[in-house]
């Protein structure tokens, strides 16, 4: 198979859409609420054991009232990275929307279907696009300075559980190993967006048509542009990534629900995030 002129144009459009919406200098990150990292200092450990701490530090032998500041301080401190990461995710959702709008076929869908596709795929596309900042050197997402270097521990401080973050990091490592071309990377994000089986999608046929056109373009691209030695099973491996993303998405929904309920400061979650991932208090 060879790339048709139309497929070439599609790839060029997707690459341009991605470049316009992914700023690899990460210069906007300083506008997010600042990251707060528990550094293992006494104050920090304090906050995770408020009751023990207050008993050890005073002559009282009674527990402070359960609902008193201690427990809330603990929860608040455990979620010290939430404002920053919630801002990062909210910002990224805006960029994903900008990317989607430039994909041929997206704007032609009715607004309801556009919303259903974005709501369902936002976290998956964020996970995919974040591979660009992920480095296997130290398994972190490195976005410029140390301040914007995100490690598992940082994401735990936004309320995510270690057991669920391990599959996310594994996913990132395996994605890196695929060593995708930019064309393949952007096609995968577009294919992920145009999944006809997302909840609420009305015009499944239209979505499927676009997705099939994208997958056909990906197959053709791999067949004629990817070096013979590495293209073995590449398409299959990429489709497998979409399956893994579904399960990361499901886990994220559960974790998000928990976090949004635990968050003491409801302002920690920006309105766009609440709209896309759900607002349990609404």
Chain residues binding ligand 6VH by CB under 6 A are: 82, 85-86, 88-89, 92, 126-127, 129-130, 132-133, 141, 143, 150, 155, 158, 160, 164-165, 168, 248, 251-252, 255-256, 259, 273, 277
User: Residue 113 Cβ, how far from ligand 6VH at the closest point, in Å?
Assistant: 23
User: Residue 217 Cβ, how far from ligand 6VH at the closest point, in Å?
Assistant: 24
Nearest residue (CB) to ligand 6VH, 89 versus 191: 89
Query: How do strand 134-135 and strand 140-142 relate by DSSP bridges?
Result: antiparallel
Nearest residue (CB) to ligand 6VH, 17 versus 143: 143
Nearest residue (CB) to ligand 6VH, 106 versus 141: 141
CA dihedral defined by 211, 214, 219, 225, rounded to 10 degrees?
-160
User: Residue 236 Cβ, how far from ligand 6VH at the closest point, in Å?
Assistant: 23
Exposure string of 203-227, with b = 16+ CB inside 10 Å and e = fewer, is eeebbeebbebbbebbebbbeeebe
Strand partners of residue 198: none
- Confirm if 116 and 198 have CB atoms less than 8 A apart: yes
- Confirm if 61 and 55 have CB atoms less than 8 A apart: yes
User: Residue 39 Cβ, how far from ligand 6VH at the closest point, in Å?
Assistant: 18
Nearest residue (CB) to ligand 6VH, 18 versus 160: 160
User: Residue 255 Cβ, how far from ligand 6VH at the closest point, in Å?
Assistant: 5
Nearest residue (CB) to ligand 6VH, 54 versus 139: 139
3 state DSSP class of 57 = coil
User: Residue 153 Cβ, how far from ligand 6VH at the closest point, in Å?
Assistant: 11
Nearest residue (CB) to ligand 6VH, 133 versus 195: 133
3 state DSSP class of 142 = strand
Nearest residue (CB) to ligand 6VH, 108 versus 250: 250
3 state DSSP class of 257 = helix
HSE-CB of 128 using CA atoms within 13 angstroms:
30
| CA pair distance 43, 126, nearest whole angstrom | 33
| CA pair distance 249, 266, nearest whole angstrom | 22
End-to-end CA distance of the chain: 52
User: Residue 127 Cβ, how far from ligand 6VH at the closest point, in Å?
Assistant: 5
Q: How far is CA 261 from the centre of its chain?
A: 20
Q: Which of 3, 26, 5, 25 has the alpha carbon at shortest distance from 184?
A: 3
């Amino acid at each position: 198979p060879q790339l048709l002129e139309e497929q070439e144009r599609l790839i060029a459009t997707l690459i341009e859409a991605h470049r316009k919406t992914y700023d690899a200098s990460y210069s906007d990150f300083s506008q997010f609420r600042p990251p707060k990292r528990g550094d293992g200092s006494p104050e920090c450990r304090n906050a995770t054991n408020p009751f023990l701490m207050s008993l050890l530090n005073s002559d009282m032998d009674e527990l402070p009232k359960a609902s008193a500041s201690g427990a809330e301080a603990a929860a608040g401190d455990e979620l010290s990275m939430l404002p920053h990461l919630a801002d990062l995710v909210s910002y990224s959702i805006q960029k994903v929307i900008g990317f989607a709008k430039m994909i041929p076929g997206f704007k032609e869908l009715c607004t309801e279907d556009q919303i259903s596709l974005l709501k369902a795929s936002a976290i998956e596309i964020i996970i995919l696009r974040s591979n660009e900042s992920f480095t296997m050197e130290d398994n972190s997402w490195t976005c410029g300075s140390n301040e914007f270097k995100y490690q598992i521990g940082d994401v735990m401080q936004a309320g995510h559980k270690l057991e669920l973050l391990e599959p996310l990091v594994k996913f990132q490592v395996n994605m890196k190993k695929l060593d995708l071309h930019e064309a393949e990377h952007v096609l995968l994000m577009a294919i992920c967006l145009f999944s006809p089986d997302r909840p609420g999608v009305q015009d499944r046929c239209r979505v499927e048509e676009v997705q099939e056109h994208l997958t056909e373009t990906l197959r053709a691209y791999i067949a004629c542009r990817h070096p013979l030695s590495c293209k073995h099973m590449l398409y299959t491996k990429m489709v497998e990534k979409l399956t893994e993303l579904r399960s990361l998405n499901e886990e994220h929904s559960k974790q998000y629900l928990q976090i949004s309920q635990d968050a003491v400061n409801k302002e920690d979650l920006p309105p766009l995030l609440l709209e896309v991932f759900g607002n349990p208090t609404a």
